[in-house]
Amino acid sequence: MNGPCLERSAERDAALRAMLPHVPALGWSESALRAGLRDIGADAESAAWLFPRGPAGMAEAWSDLADRDMTAEAAGEGLHELRVPARIRTLVAIRLQGQAAHREAVRRALAILALPWNYAAAVRATARTVDAMWQAAGDASTDISFYTRRATLAGVYGATLGYWLRNPDPEAVLSFLDRRLADVARLQRPRRKAA
């Protein structure tokens, strides 16, 4: 799910992590990137070539980095011992917990990706996130369920992310997520025929 428009490198990852503290004040901008690069002693001029697609490219790359962080953390969680809904719940919780210190950066990234001209980057970032979650959960589907699972999770994750942005209480967020997962489970149950 890496896609042709996303480049990964240690330099880009370090730059993203360094710029995060500056994003609340400066947004996903070259100014925030330069400030972060100065913080880690890197050449601020590299800002010109690290993210040639500008703020949308920064936001998309940060989403990808958060996906990789989530996957790495989930590897030690014993997901294989859980049922699939509990795996997904755990992964969403890890993803949100990893972003908790950067709530304003998330809000600003979503605002950038919501712009009509950044639609493709938003779709790629969302697809990459839900695919990373399903892969970490052990999904090996190759039929139509590959797509339906990811589309369903995109809706659940998107709704939960929106709630998380408005409510910083982790327990309330997990309760909201549990209700969304229960809704999905209800929709997937076969209906009884009337006797």
pLDDT at 77: 85
pLDDT at 22: 97
pLDDT at 4: 45
> Among candidates 77, 66, 57, 187, which has minimal Cα distance to 138?
77
- How much is the pTM? 0.88
Which residues have CB under 8 Å from 3's CB, separation 6+? 124, 128
pLDDT at 6: 80
SS (H, E, C) the chain: CCCCCCCCCHHHHHHHHHHHHHHHHHCCCHHHHHHHHHHCCCCHHHHHHHCCCHHHHHHHHHHHHHHHHHHHHHCCCCHHHCCHHHHHHHHHHHHHHHHHHHHHHHHHHHHHHCCHHHHHHHHHHHHHHHHHHHHHCCCCCCCHHHHHHHHHHHHHHHHHHHHHHHCCCHHHHHHHHHHHHHHHHHHHCCCCCCC
d(CA 31, CA 51): 12
pLDDT at 2: 43
Let me know: does 176 contact 163? Beta carbons within 8 Å: yes
> Among candidates 129, 137, 134, 128, which has minimal Cα distance to 149?
134
Tell me the per-residue pLDDT of 139-192, one tens digit each, with 9 for 90 and over: 988 899 899 999 999 999 999 999 999 998 999 999 999 999 998 887 766 555
Structure tokens at 190: 């076969």
Segments of the chain with pLDDT less than 50: 1-4, 195
Residues in the chain, how many?
195
d(CA 88, CA 133): 7
pLDDT at 140: 85
Phi/psi at 53 (nearest 5 deg)?
-90, 10
pLDDT at 193: 55
